[in-house]
């Protein structure tokens, strides 16, 4: 459906709501592909998102502003209750963030697995004596993998951790400084090292911002 036809559909369906005196709370969703967000290579029928919103404002003016709208990327939501469209947009944002977080978490888990595989590969090249000596390190790192993957990270934390080299090794080094109950201290070592990585990243960003002023 062409963009102009979508505008006509929006106008007609909202107008019918007025004519039918339908006062029940509703939410209507339309997809209006725009140059800003659409991956469609044919740009001839696409508007900039700002142009779409101007056209929608014109439609709502014709309908005496009896409806509210809000948008998220190419999705446009209309309702007779402002809070309803706002809530719908928040849900769309949360949905996108969940998808982004899941993708980053997948990359993070893969990063940890790769580091462990490289550790095992190096270990296999060692003499039997060294392998025995490092058996404790192997067991600890295997446990740390579960701890690292089981933690709940924000999007910004995952982005920071993905830029950090040898997280598993850093956590193991942190563990060697600890003593006490194995599981409790192992979890503490992981948590403490991750917190330090994130804190250092935040401080570096603050410092860069100061220097750029």
pLDDT tens column, 5-35: 999 999 999 999 998 887 899 999 999 998 8
Angstrom CA distances, 98 to 75, 104, 155, 159, 161, stand at 18, 10, 9, 14, 18
DSSP helix/strand/coil, 33? coil
| 32 vs 169: CA distance, rounded Å | 49
* Beta carbons within 10 angstroms of residue 43's beta carbon: 11
Given a cut of 60, whether residue 180 has pLDDT beyond it is: no
Please report the pLDDT score of residue 38 as a whole number. 77
112-162 pLDDT, tens per residue? 999 999 999 999 999 999 999 999 999 999 999 998 999 999 999 999 999
Structure tokens at 104: 């980053």
Edge-to-edge strand list for the sheet holding 75-79: 27-31, 75-79, 68-72
Q: Looking at residue 41, what is its pLDDT?
A: 60
Instruction: Give mean pLDDT, residues 167-193.
Output: 81
Closest to 161 in 3D by CA, of 112, 210, 212 = 112
Percent of the chain with pLDDT over 70: 95
Under the banding of pLDDT at 50, 70 and 90, the label for residue 101 is very high
| pLDDT score at 89 | 95
Q: Residue 108 — very low, low, confident or very high, per pLDDT cuts 50/70/90?
A: very high
How far apart are alpha carbons 112 and 133 in whole angstroms?
Answer: 23
> Is the pTM higher than 0.85?
no
Q: What angle do helix axes 3-19 and 49-62 make, rounded to 10 degrees?
A: 30
State residue 93's pLDDT score. Answer: 94
Tens-digit pLDDT profile for residues 53-92: 999 999 999 999 999 999 999 999 999 999 999 999 999 9
Determine the pLDDT at residue 204: 87
Q: Average per-residue pLDDT in the chain?
A: 90
Per-residue pLDDT at 37:
82
């Amino acid at each position: 459906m062409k963009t102009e036809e979508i505008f006509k559909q929006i106008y007609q369906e909202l107008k019918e709501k007025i004519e039918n005196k339908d006062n029940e709370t509703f939410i209507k969703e339309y997809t209006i592909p725009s140059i800003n967000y659409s991956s469609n290579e044919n740009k001839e029928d696409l508007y900039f998102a700002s142009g779409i919103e101007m056209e929608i404002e014109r439609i709502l003016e014709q309908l005496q502003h009896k409806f509210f709208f809000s948008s998220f990327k190419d999705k446009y939501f209309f309702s007779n209750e402002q809070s309803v469209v706002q809530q719908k947009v928040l849900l769309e944002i949360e949905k996108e963030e969940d998808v982004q977080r899941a993708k980053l978490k997948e990359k993070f888990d893969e990063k940890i697995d790769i580091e462990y595989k490289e550790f095992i590969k190096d270990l296999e090249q060692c003499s039997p004596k060294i392998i025995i000596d490092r058996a404790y390190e192997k067991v600890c790192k295997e446990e740390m993998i579960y701890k690292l993957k089981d933690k709940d990270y924000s999007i910004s934390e995952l982005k920071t951790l993905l830029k950090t080299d040898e997280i598993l090794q850093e956590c193991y080094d942190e563990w060697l400084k600890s003593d006490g109950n194995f599981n409790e201290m192992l979890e503490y070592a992981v948590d403490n090292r991750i917190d330090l990585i994130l804190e250092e990243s935040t401080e570096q960003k603050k410092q860069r911002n100061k220097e750029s002023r």
